[in-house]
């Protein structure tokens, strides 16, 4: 699979539309299994934030190159993951290939040019390394994602309508990672892998979700007793400490391919406001 673009210019609108169409198609095929799944990753901001009613001077979210789908660990205990894999195969999904042409069990694809779905999981009571692979079946696996369990505590259902990846017209309810859990997952992911897109996704959500940062803080606050949330906030304090730290710098690099003092200051300001509201309890 090709490396993800480092700047917004690499994200084509038609690719984003294809990812949404794939998500819709997958929802029709998995049906009653969807309550055990949650959409996370780069598609979330474009669905949590109404892209048709953005405020003036706010550009649409760039979207994503692939679909990230979180699996409830209960699926493993109940062995329903076998049914998920079977339905994926019947829907013409198959394991993707890496740069060496070998199957990548945690990432499956459909259509040509391919659209991929990455599966994520967070096993219970394990010290497995983030980003390592957790086997589900002989040809299916999921990537271990710290904090994923919070997406099953803080989530939101949206209605996705339009055409599926195979050209059908339909409508389905899709469960998305909520704004609070999204901040945790993206803060953890950015600290671990440092991708420009993760920093941008955080910035975009804080800038545009609901009525402002206070609405994000309201969703994040109930998650604070969780160790993953505590760690994520520490990472935000470090990575967005000032305009020269990596968080704001990589937001600007993603958007413009170069430093931008205004964007970097804005990124610091939004994160600082979030942290202050968390500490103050929103003034309550």
143-174 pLDDT, tens digit per residue, is 999 999 999 999 999 999 999 999 999 999 99
Other Cβ atoms within 10 Å of 91 Cβ, number: 18
Contact at 8 Å (CB) between 41 and 23? Answer: no
For 110-162, the three-class secondary structure string (H helix, E strand, C coil) is ECCCCEEEEEEECCCCCCCCCCCEEEEECCEEEEECCCHHHHHCCEEEEEEEE
Percent of the chain predicted with pLDDT > 70: 96
The stretch 107-128 carries a mean pLDDT of: 84
Alpha-carbon distance of 195 to 190, in angstroms, equals: 6
Alpha-carbon distance of 64 to 41, in angstroms, equals: 8
- Say whether pTM exceeds 0.95: no
212-228 pLDDT, tens digit per residue, is 999 999 999 999 999 99
175-185 pLDDT, tens digit per residue, is 999 999 999 99
Contact at 8 Å (CB) between 183 and 220? Answer: yes
């Amino acid at each position: 699979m090709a490396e993800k673009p480092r700047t917004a210019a690499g994200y084509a609108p038609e690719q984003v539309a294809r990812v949404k169409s794939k998500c819709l198609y997958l929802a029709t095929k998995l049906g009653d299994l969807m309550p055990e799944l949650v959409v996370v990753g780069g598609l979330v901001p474009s669905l949590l934030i109404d892209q048709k009613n953005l405020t003036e001077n706010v550009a649409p979210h760039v979207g994503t190159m692939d679909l990230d789908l979180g699996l409830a660990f209960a699926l493993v205990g109940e062995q329903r993951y076998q049914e998920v894999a079977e339905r994926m195969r019947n829907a013409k999904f198959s394991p993707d290939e890496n740069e060496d042409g070998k199957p990548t069990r945690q990432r499956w694809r459909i259509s040509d040019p391919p659209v991929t779905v990455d599966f994520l999981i967070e096993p219970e009571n394990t010290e497995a390394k983030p980003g390592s692979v957790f086997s589900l079946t002989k040809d299916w696996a999921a990537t271990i994602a710290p904090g994923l369990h919070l997406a099953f505590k803080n989530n939101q259902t949206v209605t996705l309508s339009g055409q599926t990846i195979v050209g059908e017209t339909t409508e389905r309810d899709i469960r998305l990672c909520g704004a609070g859990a999204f901040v945790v997952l993206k803060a953890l992911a950015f600290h671990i892998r440092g991708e420009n897109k993760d920093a941008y996704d955080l910035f975009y959500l804080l800038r545009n979700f609901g009525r402002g940062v206070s609405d994000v803080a309201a969703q994040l606050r109930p998650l604070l007793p969780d160790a993953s949330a505590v760690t994520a906030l520490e990472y935000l304090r470090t990575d967005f400490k000032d305009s020269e730290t990596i968080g704001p710098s990589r937001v600007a690099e993603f958007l413009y391919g170069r430093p931008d003092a205004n964007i970097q200051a804005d990124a610091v300001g939004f994160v600082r406001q979030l942290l202050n509201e968390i500490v103050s309890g929103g003034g309550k």
